[in-house]
Amino acid sequence: MSGKRRLVVVGNGMAGARAVEEILTRGGGEQFAIAMFGDEPYGNYNRILLSHVLTGEQDPDEIVLNPIEWYAENGIMLHSGVRIVEIDRPGKAVFCDNALWLHYDQLVIATGSRPFMPPLEGLVGRDGRYKPGIFVFRTLDDCRHIAAAAQSSGRAAVIGGGLLGLEAARGVLGYSCEVHVIELGPYLMTQQLDAPAGAILKSTMEAMGVHVQLGKKSTAVLGEGRVEGLAFADGGTLPCDMVVIAAGIVPNRELGVRSGLTVERAIVVDDHMRSVDDPDIYVVGECAQHRGRVYGLVAPLWEQARVLADHITGRDTGAAYHGSKLGTKLKVMGVELASMGTVEAEASDEVVQFSEPRRGVYKKLIVREGRLTGAILLGDMSKAAFLTQAFERDLPLPEARRELLFDIAAPSGPSTFQDMADALQICNCNGVAKGDIGRSVRAGARTARAVMEATRAGLGCGSCKGMVGELVAWFCEGQVEEDPSVHYYVPGIPMPTPELVRSIRERSLRSVSRVFEVLTGGVEDATSKPGLASLLRTIWGRDYEDERDARFINERVHANIQKDGTFSVIPQIPGGVTTPAQLKRIAEVAERYRVPLVKITGGQRIDLLGVEKDNLPGLWTELGMPSGHAYGKSYRTCKSCVGTDFCRFGLGDSTRLAIQIEERFQGLESPGKMKLATAGCPRNCSEAMVKDLGAVAVEGGRWEIYVGGAAGAHVRKGDVLCVAESHDEVIRMMGRFIQYYRENARYLERSYSFVERIGIERLRAVLVEDREGIAAGLEQALEASISDYRDPWLEAGRPVTANQFATLLPKGASGEAARAR
Amino acid sequence: MPADLDTKHGGRRLSLGPLCQIPVGEGRGFEAGNERIAVFRPRCGGVYATQAHCPHRGGPLADGLLGGTTLVCPLHAWRFDLASGEVLTGGGRITTYRVVLTADGDMVIDLGIGSP
Ligand code: SRM
Ligand SMILES: Cc1cc2nc3c(=O)[nH]c(=O)nc-3n(C[C@H](O)[C@H](O)[C@H](O)COP(=O)(O)OP(=O)(O)OC[C@H]3O[C@@H](n4cnc5c(N)ncnc54)[C@H](O)[C@@H]3O)c2cc1C
Ligand code: SF4
Ligand code: FES
């Protein structure tokens, strides 16, 4: 490493790591030996997505930006979990809390900020620490602590009704914990909203179940050993067992103060992001104060990091930061809110406003000299992309102002792309500008995915993915390529489904381990195993060599795993039709096994939840009903309405049809879940038009067959595949579709994506008109799978693997082993 | 019967009984001493033991999927390397234990030498 300058970075958060990335892309790896210190025990992660981690929408690993390996791969010495306590400027060294010290030639301070703790009485316990039950929301560890506490709390208070407080409240709510947001100001999010918007947001949050208390000043934390409540200035109190404090942030500026740098609200920097006192010390992120401003959002950090990198590497010693315009989005599930620029208008400003409180919609634009200087969009984001551009780029606005609020005549895509400045930020999570996407395309990327991987655009909250895709297509000028991996059946084997099927057939690969042996040289990919198991069963039927380790736990024990490691049991109730005798039996078994929760499901059957693995075989046996397959990637169920038997509108016997369908397709494994329904008339009471497959009776004894419908995470009305004349024909056509889907979809690709990808015209041509001459083959293959069907719950008496249903084997469990053999 | 086989180096060794209690490619939960542990038998060979519960939200690791020596938690798919205990999805480590096989195919776990 001799000859290289020593660059030390203090703070391994979003700004510090980004600055280093920018330095590396400018060839900084050649100039510097880099060491980074971060007092969190991780690599760098996307702090803004912590809210999603708290709600469980994302896993911690999904928000990692720079995994530990990244540092090693780029020759960076990472000291994670190590805190810098002192900078010795004359000696040019940093000191760590573990007695290590390191010399630097140049230093970057990127220590970010920490939560502001309001001066509450009783916040701190006798031992000088925050009382048990007090939480802040800044780091991954904070997130874990909040989640753990919320699970067992009855009521939580969140102090602070700003962006962070609301995101925290929404997260806590998800753990079935009552939440009160305590806000000092007169309305929520006073920084980003005006009073009317704040009021609408309040009702939206309340509708979600969050209690909001405004104009309340918290004065004390109640409770001796731990949090028992909050007391307010107005004399009131709120009993609660946890308090999340989200009352603002304070920059971590102490290192600057102690080493004699100029520090006001944060460490003061010049336009090159250099401390004004020391040319070898740069400061970036929330701990930097530039032209009197300290930023608390990520977008400015990206600009700062670029300037810093240009300057420190000598790539552009004139590079200068001029400050940022601020826009932000609230990432609360179920609330759409964007705010940018000024919130309150001045007398001479033009204000364009629309408000529909009942639907939770509010839009306000502040226009100054024909340019957008501020906007609030609540409850309807349809114009957000356009307005963000107009705001950031100072674009002239259309004369008809209502076009700014509503999609009357949408500004056409391509011409707007043309007009967009290269510096316009497309991905706000990862700070990727239009120009970066263009560069990536010019460097050879031809798919949206390749561009996303190269630039990280779209890999944060994902809300800009659509725009990234369109931009890539635009930059490629028609040369855009399809991303091959979107067609891989499973991620671990680079083959689209039809090719993989061919390979498996040609080489007679009958077990998952053989597939890996032959196709990947024996490298097993855990997450690809269940998909392969499903496909092999589809291809080989009874000649498939079943290896149980390839199955996900649900399909090893034929029940759905729950959050506490217990399982749920859903017996088959075809068509939703049951009998008093059956209900009695279920009730008795539920009592005997002390089933903690018995619930009617959305799929028209009964769920017994919270069953220990060891009790599954006994419970099934005593139920004496077949499995409802509610745990598998397989045919699930066919819902039905009452149909002709009792309903005065019924045109077709939907119940009988549903039962016939279930008898035929029960348990068939498939790339994704298949949920079906039949409806006795187009009133569609059983929601057949939004199922993977649905049959809706129409006048004349006929049935419309819908495919690719969805009403889960994704909502889509199905497409009509054909109109069938009889129950037999419904079942035949559904069967063709099912088999085609089984042979051609990617693993986990639900019918709603599959149908869209293939296109309904093509499906009709292949399945209804049989233009490729494969219909008979599909029917035959399906028939084979159907005749191989065995109720998996019969394994109750005959376990297939050793200790298949054992949760815990006792010490030295030789007896158990003997039994299992 | 748990058998304290060896106490030198301050470690504690317990017999977990025959290897055939665990099917190839899967894991099972065991009670050893006062600890709950998960023991795995990957297809690539070897026997590995870890703490029983996932550091994320307590998922039962023994019910996870194995690919080589990578273990995937059944609840939210955190990934771990069985050999080192490393959390592959985010950093940190889970506790691992050494398991040796006796001549008659019994697994003996060493509770003393776990990685931190
Ligand atoms: C039990 C039930 C909720 C209830 O109490 O009613 C349920 C429970 C679960 N649903 Fe569901 N869904 C249930 C009906 C539905 C329905 C309604 C329906 O089937 O008519 C839908 C909308 C239709 C659909 O499938 O899209 C539905 C859409 C989902 C989705 C979203 C899928 C999507 O791609 O849009 C998931 C998540 C997934 O599959 O990744 C999901 C996942 C789950 C899982 C399996 C989550 C999991 O992986 O553990 C839940 C299992 C709990 C358990 O262990 O029992 N569940 N889920 C319903 C069982 C129906 C049944 O008898 O089989
Ligand atoms: C829950 C949450 C949601 C957010 N949502 C948004 C959003 O939607 N949009 C948005 O724009 N912004 C959002 N933010 C703000 C955004 O995350 C911050 O602006 C950004 O992370 C600041 O980056 P930074 O590098 O300056 O600080 P950080 O990311 O905090 O990094 C600083 C790092 O330095 C470490 N450190 C501090 N002192 C030392 C020391 N002495 N020695 C070693 N290491 C040290 C810290 O532990 C930390 O890891 C959100 C923040 C949170 C907490
Ligand atoms: S869909 Fe038609 S037949 Fe079915 S219950 Fe409703 S009205 Fe009756
Ligand atoms: S409990 Fe293991 S990944 Fe969540």
Tell me the DSSP string of A157-224.
Answer: EEE--SHHHHHHHHHHHTTT-EEEEE-SSSSS-TTT--HHHHHHHHHHHHHHTEEEE-S--EEEEE-S
Interface of A with B in 34-93 (CB under 8 A): 41-43, 45, 59-61, 64, 67-68, 80
Contact, A43 vs A159, CB < 8 A?
no
Q: Compute the distance between CA of residue B15 and CA of residue B100 in angstroms, rounded to an integer.
A: 10
CA–centroid distance, A562 to ligand 4, in Å, is 11
Q: How do beta strands B13-18 and B106-110 pair?
A: antiparallel
Tokens representing A279 are: 């040319």
Residue ranges around ligand 3 (CB below 6 Å): A 641-643, 647, 649-650, 654, 679-681, 683-685
Closest partner CB to B21 (pick from A59, A522, A809): A809
Query: Cβ-count burial of A352 within 10 angstroms (0-12 exposed, 13-18 middle, 19+ buried)?
Result: middle
Name the residue with the closest Cα to ligand 3, atom 2. Answer: A681
Residue ranges around ligand 4 (CB below 6 Å): B 54, 56-59, 73, 75-78
Tokens representing A745 are: 């979809």
Q: Please report which ligand is nearest the Cα atom of A50.
A: 2
Contact, B61 vs B81, CB < 8 A?
no
Query: Cβ-count burial of A147 within 10 angstroms (0-12 exposed, 13-18 middle, 19+ buried)?
Result: buried
Put simply, the answer to whether B89 touches A565 (Cβ < 8 Å) is no
A809 reaches B (C-beta below 8 A): yes
Q: Say how many CA atoms lie within 13 Å of B109 toward its Cβ.
A: 27
Which residues in chain B touch residue A807, judged by CB atoms under 8 angstroms apart? Answer: 29, 60
Tokens representing A801 are: 């693997």
Q: Compute the distance between CA of residue A247 and CA of residue A377 in angstroms, rounded to an integer.
A: 24
3-state secondary structure of A346: coil
Phi, psi at A357, each rounded to 5°: -55, -35
Would the ipTM clear 0.90, i.e. be above it?
no
Which residues in chain B touch residue A810, judged by CB atoms under 8 angstroms apart? Answer: 31
How near does any CA of chain B get to the CA of A140, in Å? 10
Quick count: other Cβ atoms within 10 Å of Cβ A277?
A: 16
Quick count: other Cβ atoms within 10 Å of Cβ A421?
A: 14
Q: Which atom of ligand 4 is nearest to the CA of B77?
A: 3
Q: What is the DSSP letter of A777?
A: H
| Nearest partner of A792 among A607, A684, A668, judged by Cα | A668
Q: Compute the distance between CA of residue A666 and CA of residue A771 in angstroms, rounded to an integer.
A: 29
Q: Compute the distance between CA of residue A619 and CA of residue A304 in angstroms, rounded to an integer.
A: 62
Tokens representing A688 are: 């057949």
Tokens representing B34 are: 């006062």
Query: Cβ-count burial of A173 within 10 angstroms (0-12 exposed, 13-18 middle, 19+ buried)?
Result: buried
Q: Which residue has the tokens 């002239």?
A: A396
Nearby residues of A6 by Cβ (< 8 Å), 6 or more positions away: A32, A33, A35, A102, A103, A104, A105, A106
CATH class of the domain comprising A425-487: mainly alpha
Put simply, the answer to whether A812 touches B36 (Cβ < 8 Å) is no
Residues A184-207: b if buried by 16+ CB within 10 A, e if exposed: bbebbbbebbbebbbbbbbebbee
pLDDT at B56: 87
CA–centroid distance, A601 to ligand 1, in Å, is 9
Type of residue numbered A106: Q
Q: Compute the distance between CA of residue A576 and CA of residue A655 in angstroms, rounded to an integer.
A: 8
For domain A651-789, the question of CATH label 3.20.20.140 is answered with: no
**Residue A752 CA: distances (Å) to CA of A723, A740, B23:** 19, 14, 37
Interface of A with B in 477-506 (CB under 8 A): 492
Q: Compute the distance between CA of residue B16 and CA of residue B108 in angstroms, rounded to an integer.
A: 6
Phi, psi at A566, each rounded to 5°: -85, -175
**Residue B93 CA: distances (Å) to CA of A19, A47, B82, B84:** 28, 21, 10, 8
Q: Which residue has the tokens 């008109």?
A: A769
The more confidently predicted of residues A311 and B35 is A311
3-state secondary structure of A144: helix
Tokens representing A566 are: 């217990």
Helix orientation angle between A616-623 and A580-592, rounded to the nearest 10 degrees: 160
pLDDT at A273: 98
Which residues in chain B touch residue A567, judged by CB atoms under 8 angstroms apart? Answer: none
Interface of A with B in 133-152 (CB under 8 A): 140, 147
Q: Please report which ligand is nearest the Cα atom of A662.
A: 1
Put simply, the answer to whether B17 touches A817 (Cβ < 8 Å) is yes
Helix orientation angle between A727-744 and A751-758, rounded to the nearest 10 degrees: 80
Q: Compute the distance between CA of residue A793 and CA of residue A616 in angstroms, rounded to an integer.
A: 9
Span of A155-169, A551-565, B6-20, B78-92 with lowest mean pLDDT: B6-20
How near does any CA of chain A get to the CA of B4, in Å? 11
DSSP secondary structure, A400-466, as one string = STHHHHS-SSPPPHHHHHHHS-TT-EEETTTTEEHHHHHHHHHTT--SHHHHHHHH-TTSSS-TTHH
Alpha-helical (H) ranges within A520-609 are: 529-540, 553-557, 580-592
| Nearest partner of A364 among A391, A334, A385, A343, judged by Cα | A343
Domain chopping of chain B, boundaries: 3-115
Quick count: other Cβ atoms within 10 Å of Cβ A384?
A: 19
CA–centroid distance, A408 to ligand 4, in Å, is 47
Q: Compute the distance between CA of residue A529 and CA of residue A91 in angstroms, rounded to an integer.
A: 57
Q: Compute the distance between CA of residue A469 and CA of residue A266 in angstroms, rounded to an integer.
A: 39
Domain B3-115, second-level architecture = 3-layer Sandwich (2.102)
Closest partner CB to A802 (pick from B20, B29, B30): B20
Put simply, the answer to whether B30 touches A806 (Cβ < 8 Å) is no
Closest partner CB to B1 (pick from A528, A553, A812): A812
Q: Compute the distance between CA of residue A65 and CA of residue A359 in angstroms, rounded to an integer.
A: 37
* CA nearest to B26 within chain A: A549
* CA nearest to B67 within chain A: A526
Low-confidence ranges of chain A (pLDDT < 70): 1-2, 99, 407-416, 459-463, 478, 482-486, 811-821
Q: What is the DSSP letter of A654?
A: H
| For range B71-96, the mean pLDDT | 90
pLDDT at A813: 42
pLDDT at A468: 85
Domains A5-114+251-312 and A342-410 share a fold: no
| Nearest partner of A374 among A344, A348, A341, judged by Cα | A341
Helix and strand numbers, DSSP H then E, in chain A: 27, 42
Put simply, the answer to whether A547 touches B1 (Cβ < 8 Å) is no
Put simply, the answer to whether A565 touches B2 (Cβ < 8 Å) is no
* The dihedral sign for the CA sequence A788, A789, A792, A796: negative
Type of residue numbered B29: G
| Nearest partner of A122 among A214, A226, A277, judged by Cα | A226
Regarding the domain delimited by A342-410, which CATH topology (the fold level of the hierarchy) does it fall under?
Enolase-like; domain 1 (3.30.390)
The count of CB pairs under 8 A between chains A and B is 143
Domain chopping of chain A, boundaries: 5-114+251-312, 134-247, 342-410, 425-487, 497-541, 552-627+791-821, 651-789
Give domain A134-247's CATH number out of 3.40.50.2000, 3.40.50.850, 3.40.50.300, 3.50.50.60.
3.50.50.60
Name the residue with the closest Cα to ligand 4, atom 3. Answer: B76
Q: Compute the distance between CA of residue A206 and CA of residue A245 in angstroms, rounded to an integer.
A: 20
| Nearest partner of A146 among A128, A133, A155, judged by Cα | A133
Phi, psi at A712, each rounded to 5°: -120, -125
How near does any CA of chain A get to the CA of B48, in Å? 16
Give domain A552-627+791-821's CATH number out of 3.30.70, 1.10.150, 1.20.1070, 3.40.630.
3.30.70
Contact, A692 vs A709, CB < 8 A?
yes
Contact, A511 vs A518, CB < 8 A?
no
| For range B5-29, the mean pLDDT | 77
Q: To 10 degrees, the CA torsion angle through A495, A498, A499, A503?
A: 110
Angle, CA A265 vertex, CA A259 and CA A270 arms, to 5°:
70
Domain A5-114+251-312, second-level architecture = 3-Layer(bba) Sandwich (3.50)
Put simply, the answer to whether A61 touches B21 (Cβ < 8 Å) is no
Put simply, the answer to whether B14 touches A811 (Cβ < 8 Å) is yes
Q: Please report which ligand is nearest the Cα atom of A304.
A: 2
Q: How do beta strands A693-698 and A674-679 pair?
A: parallel
Q: Compute the distance between CA of residue A778 and CA of residue A627 in angstroms, rounded to an integer.
A: 26
Contact, A760 vs A708, CB < 8 A?
yes
Name the residue with the closest Cα to ligand 1, atom 5. Answer: A601
